[in-house]
Structure formats: structure tokens, C-alpha cells
Amino acid sequence: MPFHHLPRRSLGFFPTPIVELPRLSQVLDGPRILMKRDDQTGLALGGNKTRKLEFLIAEALHQHCDCVITAGAAQSNHCRQTAAAAAMVGLDCHLVLGGTSSEQAHGNLLLDELLGAQIHWTGTDRKGEQLSAIASQLQAQGRHPYVIPYGGSNALGAVGFVAAMAELQQQLQAMSASVDAIVFASSSGGTQAGLTVGKSLLAMDIELIGIRIDKAEDQQLSYQDQLAELATTTAKLLQSDRQFHSADFRVETAYLGAGYGRVGDLERSAINLLAQSEGILVDPVYSGRAMGGLIDLIRKGQFNPQQTVLFWHTGGQPALFAPQFSLQETS
């Protein structure tokens, strides 16, 4: 694959396993369901961001940076994995988190602190709006920060999911299996862009279905247009001249509910159903919403029983222990 010329720092356990979900398939009376267990990447309780960080952290080391800085919500899985990756390679970590400091940390935030990250609280800004300003402050202090964008979703980060598609292709070939569609959470865009570039470069005949997790805030460019730009830039980084367009991306936006990080009946039902049918946990913000979307698509007849659908579990279970995400069923 063309990504082999890029520096890469091993941070996780790959390949992550593919498992079958026969009891969930039976309950839904739908297609065969497989799951790609990126919650098992091993980096501080795992998650899909480890794939992006293998390339991003490698570049930080190559540039002789002495710290990394990234941003997210208070319960960001990306930030937790970034803090762990920084600890592994001996870099200081600064996390720019939306919200305000609380007396007691829970979930991902508890792990951020345990991993030694320095937290910068930014109130209503949770998507890295203050990254540049804080990076400048660090530079003024004589530090050499490496800035990782929100979600790790730039072209270099997306390469992690080009590599993931190559990994998946090898696993499916070894299993003598084929997949008709892949369903996954889509938020900052790096996962979907990387999977799409990988699918194109590897000539894989699989439909990619992103379940939108967050409402678009950039009104100048649609989310699909943002994905197309990122995918084209990623392909260029891999020395490919392939061009991508908004029509190349299927994004389901019907499952946004009350918005980002707001747990509703869709997420609660999906988390409970998967836990009680397969003994697998998904988080309330990303994989829980994406699993809820998949379950609804199956119930609406989007897939037939002869098809095979792969759900890409992106991790995030530490957020289950954050008190703001109530998982009790509402009456």
C-alpha cells in the first residue's frame, strides 16, 4: 500500500478482531452482522483513534516536538487516546477541552488526568477553536508543540483508516468472507474519508455508511463536501491523483437526536440490546448512536437476510461511566 513511505509509530494491537453477532442478527431477523472490534486496540482501553495517532505521533517525533496538543469535548475518546500515546513515547500532552473543571473527574476525563495530561478548559468551545492560541502560548514558553486537529482528522490521520481498509481486506480474504456494507460513526470525518480512500485504492466493492454523530456547524461547506476535500487531500498524500466528490459519501443524518452527546432512546435501546444479546458494550456518544442507526436501518429493510453488514466499533466505553450520560430507559 502507498502509506508505507510515511513514518508510523506502533501504538496498538493490530489487526483488531472481526467477530460475528449471531444473536443480534437473530433478534433483528435481518442480515448477517459482523463487528470490527477497534475498541480492542489496547491503547488506554482502546478505540479507533489509535490508528490515526500511529501516523500523527510519528510525525511529532520526526519533527522533534516535545509536547502534543489536541482538543475535544470533556469526554473525548480521541483526547484520552492522545494522552496515552503521548505518555507511551515520552511527550507532554495538553488537552483543550470544552466545558469547565469539575470537582470530581469521571470516565475519559478521569483517564486523561491519570495519564498526566494538562487540561485547558474552554467553555463552549469544544472543537479546537482555541488550539492555535494555546499552541502559541506554549511556543512563547519555549516549548515545541505538535498540534493534532480535532478528532485527529487531517489527511495524515485519515491515512490510519486507509491502512485499516487494507487490514480489513486481508482479514476478509483469510476468512473467505465478503461484506456488502460497513456502518460506522462519522463525526470529525477522518474515519469516513480514510475508509473511502482505502476502498478506492484497493478496489473494494463495499458500501460505506456513515452515521452522523454531530450536527454540521460549517455552513459554508456541507459535511459531504468536507469529506470529499479531506479524502482528495489524503489520496494526494499517498501519491494518488484520485479526486473525490460529495456524491461518494453516504451519510445518514436521521439519528442526530437532540445533538452531540445527548443520549436518547435510540442510544439507550441500542446499548442495552447489544449488551444483552452479545455481551458487547458500546459508548453513549459514538458507537451507541451508530449502532442505533444500524438497528433502525435493518428494521426498515435496508438490508436483506442474504447480505452481510460489518459494524465498525470505534470504542469509547469509558464514557459509560460519566454521570451526564444516563442509560436508564425513559418511560
| Active site members | 76
Pairing of strands 145-147, 181-186: unpaired
Q: Cα–Cα–Cα angle for 274, 275, 281, nearest 5°?
A: 95
Strand locations in the chain, DSSP E? 18-20, 32-37, 67-72, 92-97, 118-121, 145-147, 181-186, 207-212, 250-252, 308-313
Its sign, for the CA torsion 135, 154, 68, 210, is positive
Angle at 127 between CA 95 and CA 99, to 5 degrees: 65
Q: Are 295 and 265 in contact (CB under 8 A)?
A: no
Cell of 60: 511529532
- Look up cell 470505534; give the residue: 314
Residue with cell 494491537: 13
Report the alpha-carbon distance of residue 59 to residue 156 in Å, rounded: 9
Task: Render 217-257 in DSSP notation, one character per residue.
Answer: --TTS-HHHHHHHHHHHHHHHTT------GGG-EEE-TT-T
Alpha carbons within 13 angstroms on the beta-carbon side of residue 220 total: 0
CB 211 within 8 A of CB 255: yes
